[in-house]
Amino acid sequence: MTDLTSKFALVSGAGRDIGQAIAIELARRGADVAFTYHRASGGSDEVTASAIQALGRRAFSKEVDSLDSAAVREFVGWAITQAGQPLDILVNVVGSLVARKRIEEMDEAFWDHVIALNLKSAFVLTKAALPHVSDGGAIVNISSQAGRDGGGTGAVAYGAAKGALMAFTRALAKELGPRRIRVNGVCPGMIDTTFHDTFTKPEVRQRVASMTPLGREGRAEEVATLVAFLASSEASFVNGANVDINGGILFS
């Protein structure tokens, strides 16, 4: 199993689902973890923090609005102080479809919010964290299959944001390579989470699962395992990649 002993990781949006699974998996492999959550989005810190501590690792958590630059900077500084060491791993998870809207149904405020939540949030946290990331560190951005294929009906803004996040990943990989900081992305397909409980009809989920070569939805823990690999020294020459995890329904 990938060894992250003595590493310090920061994960945004770890109050539930994929973010929560990532934070716990990093702790399972030996890392101490600081993470953000947002109750208004259905997240909380209790389950994540308890699971991390049960694994014998330290957990540092705060409720943070990921679009509030000052609050994000404050959180990063606080987390670094609490941990007493530089940052080794940064995982940008925060994002949401918000609602399914065709382009004729959305106004500029909706578009701006979805783009900001899925793209600007990664920029804000990455910019705040970078001064604290050690040489040889790793950044992993959680994009989406929607960034590859545009997503389902009503995902125009979300698909655009996730596609841009993939380009952000590639550009940052080039920029930070000389510091030996690797930047990669993960593009989940249909994963069994509250995201699809909220935004995808059951019959659509069943149809997509049946069309997937593996015949099922993915699990948040499977995404977390991939993230842990990309964050580790085992992926030391993987940089600027956006890795699909979708059961084979889409090949890029």
pLDDT at 44 over 90: no
Query: What is the per-residue pLDDT for 43?
Result: 66
Query: What is the per-residue pLDDT for 42?
Result: 65
Query: What is the per-residue pLDDT for 21?
Result: 98
Can you give the residue ranges of every domain in the chain? 8-245
From the candidates 35, 60, 158, 229, give the one annotated as an active-site residue: 158
Question: What's the topology of domain 8-245?
Answer: Rossmann fold (3.40.50)
Query: What is the per-residue pLDDT for 72?
Result: 98
pLDDT at 115 over 80: yes
DSSP 141-174: EE--THHHH--STTBHHHHHHHHHHHHHHHHHHH
Q: Is 158 a catalytic residue?
A: yes
Sign of torsion over alpha carbons 110, 240, 248, 12:
negative
177-226 tens-digit pLDDT: 999 999 999 999 999 998 898 889 999 999 999 999 999 999 999 999 99
